[in-house]
Amino acid sequence: MIIKIKDIIPGLLIAIIIYLSSYFISNFFGTELLGYEKSPISNILLAIVIGIIIGNIFNFDKRIGSGLNFSVKIILRLGIILMGVRLSISDIFIYGSSSIPLVIICIISVILIVIVFAKFLTISSRLSYLIAVGTSICGASAIVATAPIIEAKKAEVTYAIANITIFGVIVMFLYPYLAHYMFDGDPKSIGLFLGTAIHETAQVIASGLIYEQHYKNTNILEIAAVTKLVRNTFLLVMIPSVIYFFNSRNENKRYSIIKIFPLFIVGFLIMSLIRSTGDYIFSIYAIENLHEIWIKIIDVIILLSSVSLGIAMASLGLMTNIKEILKMGLKPFIIGFIAASAAGIVSFFIIKLFSLINLF
C-alpha cells in the first residue's frame, strides 16, 4: 500500500497540535499554578482525553482518518523502536525471560475463561475466539490476524475490536494508579502487570507513560514494553493453534508468518543492541568528547521516541469512537468485561505468587 503524504498530513497535524497542547497545559497547571518543579499531570493522559473529546464532537472525514491511522500504526511503531535505545540487550533478556512464564499463564487462562463463559451466554464461538485472542495477546492485531482463519463475520470483528477498545481504554487509565498500590510501588511487578493485563500495545505504552510521568519512574515503561512485546510474539504460536483447534478444514491453506509477526520488535532489539554496543565501546575507549556526543545522541533519540509515542496517543484518543462502542450488544459487552477482568486478576495473582517463591 502506497502512502500519500497529502492524505496523512491533516490528521497527523491535528494529532501533533493536540499533543503539543497537552504538553503546555500540563506544564502550565503543574508548574505555573501548582508550583511543582515537574508537572504531576500527565500530558499523555491529557492528550488521550482531549483526543477522545474532540474526536467524538467533530465528524472527521477520511483524510483525517488516514493521518490518524498512519500515526497509530507507523509513528507508534517508530516510537517503540526508538524506545529500545533506553535499554541494554541484557536488560531486555532479563525482563523478557522473566515475563515468559507469566505471559503463557495469562494467555491460556484468559482464553479458557472467555470460551467457557461464552458458552453459558450462547455467544458464537467465532466472536468468543476473537475477544479471547484480542484480550490475551495483542488487541486488534490479533483479531485481524485470526478473523480470516476462523471465517469470522465483519460484524463479529467489529464487535471484538470495539470490545477490546472500550475495556482497554478503561484499564489504560485505571491500572497505572491501581498497580502502584497493589504492588507497593515495586517497579518490576508493576511493569509486568501493565504489560500483561492491558490489551493493545498502544494502550500498554500509554499506561506506562502515564505511570512514568505521575510517579517519576522510567523503569515501568521499559518493563511493560518488553513484556508486551513478548506477548505479541505469541501471535506466532496462536495462529497455528487456532487453525488446528478451530478450523482444521483449512489446514491446507498457507498463512504468512511475516505478515502476522510484529516486525517492530526486531527494530526495538536493534536499537537496544546499538545502545549496548555504543556504551561498551565508549566504556573501553574513554574519549571524553565522543562520549559526550554519544550521550547527546541517545538523549535526542529518547526525546524523538517520547514525541512519537505522544502523537500516537493523541491519535488513539481521536480514533476512540464512543458511539460505535455504545452500539455493542449486552452479551459481547459482558464477555469483554469478563476477559478484561480475567486478564487483570490472573496477572495480579500470578505476579504475587511468583514474587513469593522468588521466581522474579
For the full predicted model, state whether its pTM sits above 0.85. Answer: no
Nearest to 51 by CA among 278, 322, 252: 322
| Residue 154 pLDDT exceeds 70 | no
In a domain, 104, yes or no: yes
User: Which pLDDT score is estimated for 286?
Assistant: 63
pLDDT tens per residue, range 288-337: 677 778 888 999 998 998 898 889 888 888 887 777 666 666 777 788 88
Nearest to 213 by CA among 180, 258, 181: 180
Mean pLDDT of 336-350: 91
In a domain, 127, yes or no: yes
325, 328, 334, 340 alpha-carbon torsion, rounded to 10°: -30
Other CB atoms within 10 A of residue 343 CB: 25
User: Which pLDDT score is estimated for 15?
Assistant: 92
Residue 262 — pLDDT band, cuts 50, 70, 90?
Answer: low
Nearest to 260 by CA among 240, 245, 285: 240
Identify whether the C-beta of residue 132 lies closer than 8 Å to the C-beta of residue 119: no
pLDDT tens per residue, range 192-222: 999 999 988 888 988 998 898 888 877 898 8
DSSP state of 73: I
In a domain, 53, yes or no: no
For 47, 64, 159, 191, 345, the CA distances from 315, given in Å and listed in that order, are: 9, 10, 21, 24, 29
In sequence order, the 6+-apart residues with CB closer than 8 A to the CB of 204 are 172, 194, 195, 198, 224, 225, 228
For 88, 129, 170, 171, 317, the CA distances from 336, given in Å and listed in that order, are: 36, 11, 12, 12, 20
In a domain, 298, yes or no: yes
CA distance 311 to 305: 10
pLDDT tens per residue, range 93-134: 877 887 888 999 998 898 889 888 888 887 777 888 888 888
Q: Structural domain of residue 263, as residue ranges? A: 87-307+323-356
User: Which pLDDT score is estimated for 138?
Assistant: 75
Identify whether the C-beta of residue 49 lies closer than 8 Å to the C-beta of residue 99: no
> C-alpha grid cell for residue 232?
505479541
DSSP state of 85: G
User: Which pLDDT score is estimated for 304?
Assistant: 92
Angle subtended by helix axes 288-318 and 62-70, to nearest 10:
140
In a domain, 351, yes or no: yes
Identify whether the C-beta of residue 80 lies closer than 8 Å to the C-beta of residue 264: yes
CA distance 326 to 51: 18
In a domain, 317, yes or no: no
Other CB atoms within 10 A of residue 203 CB: 26
In a domain, 205, yes or no: yes
In a domain, 50, yes or no: no
Identify whether the C-beta of residue 162 lies closer than 8 Å to the C-beta of residue 325: yes
Domains held by the chain: number? 1
Mean pLDDT of 149-158: 74
